[in-house]
A and B are shown apart, each in its own frame.
Chain A
Amino acid sequence: MKTFIRKRAVASGLSLIGLIVLVFFLSRLTGDPTSLYLPVDASLESREQFREIHGLNDPILVQFFHYARDVLSLDFGDSIRKARPALQVVLEAFSWTLTLAAVTMLLVTVAAIIFGALAASRVGGVFDRIATFFSLIGASAPDFWIAIVAIVFFSVYLGWVPTSGTGTVWHWILPVAVLFIRPFGLILQVVRGSMISSLSSAYVKTARAKGVGPRPIIFVHALRNAMLPVITVIGDQAAGMLNGAVVVETIFGFPGVGKLMIDSILQRDFAVVLASIMVTAMAIFIMNLLIDLSYAVLDPRIRY
């Protein structure tokens, strides 16, 4: 187990290095940020000074060398836009995104497992049809459209919840609800499919022959066996959310990492772009590791 974690850490470290190289050079290809930050009529001297301060005059390889050296000591440089350490800016935004993703995924997982398992227990029944119908709609509806309609209806027309921002619990309801819909539909479908095959297995037959009741058969005997593919999809969806739910965050004015990344790219705030990519990449690496470990917890046949 420990060797497995160590191997995975090394492999992920290598991909992080690759990522730094790639993103650093790609972002430099987008051009010089000087003209974006200084007024159009700024003098040549002040432009030169700006470049000098931010190290933009050095050859690109030297810039990269400096950057890499700083990253090793967890110094990602300063945000040009906010004039603060980039890592600090990113971690602030990331904590918002992490909370949003964690709350949403927790609700999604619990709901999708319960509804998916119940739908699978009576395939073709009324409950199954309703669940399948709504999960298909959920999985295929575009979130930007749902977000806008939800704001118009619940915030503007009914006035139940605020349109945007993060002040109170009420502010969280719409973003969480909108983010909930798509992964809920997807995961419900996976739970349902996986449960159907699990429920028709020989060990479920054994349980029925033992006299085990319908509820423990679904939630004790079948569910744990059906969880492996479900965990994979949960991980995939959670990774998407950790990368920042860009559209939803923008529409609800939510100060998460997705919105931060888009803003920084548009403003060529390279330090922040790189720092956000590193932070989300780290988060996704840790999450994938947790998922692999949870396979082993759920299924004793899997050992690393």
Chain B
Amino acid sequence: MTDHLLEVRNLSVEFHTAGGRVKAVQDVSWHLDRGEVLAILGESGSGKSVSASAVMDLIDCPPGKITAGQILFEGRDLLQMDSNERREINGKRIAMIFQDPLSALNPVYRVGWQIEETMTIHGTPRAEARAETLELLGRVGIPDPATAVQKYPHQFSGGQRQRLMVAMALALRPDILIADEPTTALDVTVQAQILSLLEVLQKETGMGLLLITHDLGVVAETADRVVVMNGGRIVEQGTALEVYRNPKHAYTRDLIASAPGKGAMSGGVAKEGAEFLKVRGLGKKYGAFEALKDANFELMPGECLAIVGESGSGKSTLAKTLLRLEEPTAGTAFYKGRDLFAMSPKELFAIRREIQMVFQDPTQSLNPRMSAYELISEAWAIHRDILPKDRWRARVAELLDQVGLAPEHADRFPHQFSGGQRQRIAIARALALEPEIIICDEAVSALDVQVQAQVIDLLADLQKRLGLAYLFIAHDLPLVRDFADRVIVMQGGRIVEQGTVREIFDNPQETYTRNLLAASLDPDPEVQAARRAARDLASA
């Protein structure tokens, strides 16, 4: 057997929890060599991060226990070393970056100090570390390094924070960099920048890169080889192209089939009858900050209007002002010809049931102490004229059935459901009021790809059957492409472009929209390779 730089052999890890022993990963084997990119692909709970945590000695024992296997780094078993030896390797030979750079950086220390610390704990003199830090920050593209080192993490943007993490990880030129969902918390354009930064630095240093992700697009863009995990086991591995073209395992096939962005695009719905919503000159200021500027658009009956844009573009502010969860500072909005902003509290109360909202994170938006029945029927306790109390049970059962859950689920509590099921309950709750419009604020972004596809199917089906209109706020462009009829592109609080899905995706007019579309990753490695070649050509 040839010696690999890092090799995990038959690793099994268990966790002892209140509910008994959980086998996190079983019999996992993979290897990584210098200069290559290996991706571990899997959804939440698949165990994709566990083997990397074992490499970094980040598994707490107890409750964790490594029951079998070896982790060979340059031929030596890491699991046989004592903690001092492991610490010598961590940060110096093998480094790691994490998903959410805001929480992964220590909020109370200056970033300069945090980067220096990587070097000083491995023996670099402070002065040398300080000079090196300035150079590193320049290399990862942080403007004005000398001032940047004096700042704290919250004073940087999300992308810059991940750059800081990269600088910190690469300080001692490690042989291996492990990146655990490094771009999941970032906007698409920033994701593209970080991925290309990692690629450049890898080429420069010749390190091995282990990328843990749930995103087929990230695999297609970066990986040489891919390991697919499901339920704690490796179901498939091979080159990224091989796995994408000829998936052998049913799970992989399903995963690839669920990836959005391949369906027919909508050319918009026919503009017949009166519009549901007519928004003119809508604006919202927080102090001197204009979160939303001069927004004009219409929403037609039965239409799905997507609002896309990066964080801070004003998408959510738009939704909140329409629901009057925030008071607008300018403009008008007419719902079926009635001015939403001039309504009395009583009229507003009546209209609230017609415009409902589904939030991003069902774990947070559903009260954990209420059963599904209570969550759904609470709407009728507030709007008393909809349904007499003796029919609540039957209607809850009906609604649960409509969103693909069983009526006997009514008495369960949110924690007894999976993430996708919880979002179905949130949708059932919204439907309970028989609304005309549902505003989905990133309603599927927290869900795994396959679950996401199921929830989108459900939303599309309800739209057809009940004639609902959606205001679909999302950052995931392939998803919007499949599901929406029309698209509004927002940037810095302003609508930069709007049109039907076909218009926007096939023929974007604005540079910003084009950049956004270009940064969005395709799950097909060949498509991504072609795009990369085009990019390189353009920059050459």
A-to-B contact residues, CB < 8 Å? 201-203, 205-214, 216, 221, 224-225, 298-301
Contact = CB atoms under 8 A, between A and B. Distances in A.
B386 interface: no
Contacts of A216: 121
Contact of B152 (A203, A209, A301): A301
In this complex, which of A203, A207, A216, A299 has the most chain B Cβ atoms within 10 angstroms of its Cβ? Answer: A203
A212 B108 CA distance: 17
Interface of B: 56-58, 83, 87-92, 95-96, 98, 100, 103-109, 117-118, 121-122, 152, 154, 165, 168
A202 B100 contact: yes
A206 B154 contact: no
Contact of B87 (A211, A224, A225, A298): A211
Contacts of A202: 98, 100, 103-104
B57 A208 contact: yes
A210 B91 CA distance: 4
A214 B60 CA distance: 13
Contact of B105 (A206, A208, A211, A224): A206
B107 A210 contact: no
A299 B58 CA distance: 26
A84 B353 CA distance: 73
| Residue picked from A202, A203, A211, A300, most chain B C-beta under 10 Å | A211
Top 3 A-B pairs, shortest CB-CB distance = A211-B91, A211-B90, A210-B91
Given A209-B56, A210-B121, A298-B108, A203 B103 contact: yes
Contacts of B152: 300-301
Given A225-B108, A298-B108, A301-B152, A213 B121 contact: yes
Contacts of A224: 108-109
A203 B56 contact: no
Nearest to A203: B106
A116 to B, nearest CB: 18
A203 B105 CA distance: 5
Given A205-B58, A211-B87, 7 more contacts: A202-B100, A202-B103, A210-B90, A212-B91, A221-B106, A299-B108, A300-B108
Nearest to A224: B108
13 contacts: A203-B107, A206-B104, A206-B106, A206-B165, A208-B57, A209-B56, A209-B96, A211-B87, A211-B90, A211-B122, A214-B83, A221-B106, A225-B106
Contact of A210 (B100, B103, B118): B118
Nearest to A208: B58
A138 to B, nearest CB: 28
B121 A212 contact: yes
Contacts of A212: 87, 91, 117, 121
A296 to B, nearest CB: 11
A286 B87 CA distance: 45
B6 to A, nearest CB: 15
A202 B103 CA distance: 6
Most buried by A among B57, B87, B106, B165: B106
Nearest to B57: A208
A205 B105 CA distance: 10
A224 B114 CA distance: 14
Contact of B106 (A207, A211, A213, A298): A207
Given A202-B98, A205-B98, A300-B152, A210 B104 contact: no
Nearest to A209: B96
A205 B57 CA distance: 10
A131 to B, nearest CB: 19
Contacts of B117: 210, 212
B91 A225 contact: no
Given A209-B96, A210-B168, A212-B117, A201 B103 contact: yes
B107 A208 contact: no
Nearest to A206: B104
Contact of B90 (A203, A209, A298, A299): A209
B335 to A, nearest CB: 40
Contacts of B92: 211
A301 B107 contact: yes
Contacts of B91: 209-212
A202 B153 CA distance: 13
A300 B107 contact: yes
Nearest to A204: B106
B108 A205 contact: no
B480 to A, nearest CB: 30
B457 to A, nearest CB: 34
A207 B117 CA distance: 9
B340 to A, nearest CB: 36
A206 B179 CA distance: 12
A197 B165 CA distance: 22
Nearest to B152: A300
Contacts of B56: 208-209
A209 B95 contact: yes
Contacts of B57: 208
A146 B342 CA distance: 67
B107 A205 contact: no
Nearest to A225: B108
A221 B168 CA distance: 15
A174 to B, nearest CB: 39
Contacts of A301: 107, 152, 154
Centre residue among A206, A221, A225 by max chain B CB count within 10 A: A206
Contacts of A210: 90-91, 95, 117-118, 121, 168
Contacts of B98: 202, 205-206
A80 B165 CA distance: 69
Contacts of B104: 202-203, 205-206
A227 to B, nearest CB: 9
Contacts of A299: 107-108
B146 to A, nearest CB: 18
Contacts of B96: 206, 209
B154 to A, nearest CB: 5
Nearest to B115: A210
Contacts of A201: 103
Nearest to A298: B108
A205 B58 CA distance: 7
Nearest to B108: A224
B165 to A, nearest CB: 8
A119 to B, nearest CB: 16
Nearest to B84: A213
B90 A208 contact: yes
B155 to A, nearest CB: 8
A137 B87 CA distance: 39
